[in-house]
Chain A
Amino acid sequence: AQTVTQSQPEMSVQEAETVTLSCTYDTSENNYYLFWYKQPPSRQMILVIRQEAYKQQNATENRFSVNFQKAAKSFSLKISDSQLGDTAMYFCAFGTETSGSRLTFGEGTQLTVNP
């Protein structure tokens, strides 16, 4: 069974600064996907970034980037130039070719961006 662990329940960052959210996972699969989802106060979860395990290049989406360390089973999210609208709960998630879109989620990290 897959597990996803987010060890930081809460984090805060000053506006315009950079913050990194941690995620580790455990799996015996070789072909899988990793995700970061964002849940703002509106409660609607939004996909932030997606990484395929077979790709060595780290995924980036504008101010969001990941540091994917396959051997260490680590998948951290870096948010650059933090904005007030980045305040949200961030969930790390895991899926495989077999499980498809039936994802396993971590417990989440509440990020607060301070003005």
Chain B
Amino acid sequence: ETGVTQTPRHLVMGMTNKKSLKCEQHLGHNAMYWYKQSAKKPLELMFVYNFKEQTENNSVPSRFSPECPNSSHLFLHLHTLQPEDSALYLCASSQSPSGGQGAGKLFFGSGTQLSVL
């Protein structure tokens, strides 16, 4: 399998549930990202990981907890979410989070459509 794979594709959860989103990349990249995509809003960068280390957290509420066990896998653990957290959550990877020739060349998964009831 190639590219960036996200599971599950759809997720419905109650406000008291705990669930996890999974992302896997087979591109040999060193950086991985979580983005939130809400209707009629720009993509919001949530977290950045470089070589398994978190390098950015854009003031994301603690009910979202990322985990990056290695450069190929990224998780987003969810607990006690709110209805306004319903959105498409996109995972992406790139060779590096830094500038240079490959800067901005992101490879995305197909996302997890999350609905919080």
Q: What is A's interface to B at a CB cutoff of 8 Å?
A: 4, 9, 33, 35, 37, 42-47, 50, 91, 93, 95-108
Contacts and interface: CB of A to CB of B under 8 A. Distances in A.
Contacts of B110: 42-44
Contacts, number: 72
Contacts of A46: 108
Interface residues of B, number: 28
Interface of B: 31, 33, 40-43, 45, 48, 56, 88, 90, 92, 94, 96-100, 102-106, 108-111, 113
A44 B104 contact: no
Nearest to B88: A43
Contacts of A4: 42
A100 B103 contact: yes
Name the residue among A35, A99, A101 with the largest chain B CB count within 10 angstroms. Answer: A101
Contact of B104 (A9, A45, A103, A106): A103
B106 A101 contact: yes
Given A4-B42, A47-B105, A107-B42, A102 B111 contact: no
Given A37-B106, A101-B105, A105-B43, 4 more contacts: A35-B104, A44-B110, A45-B92, A107-B40
A102 B98 CA distance: 8
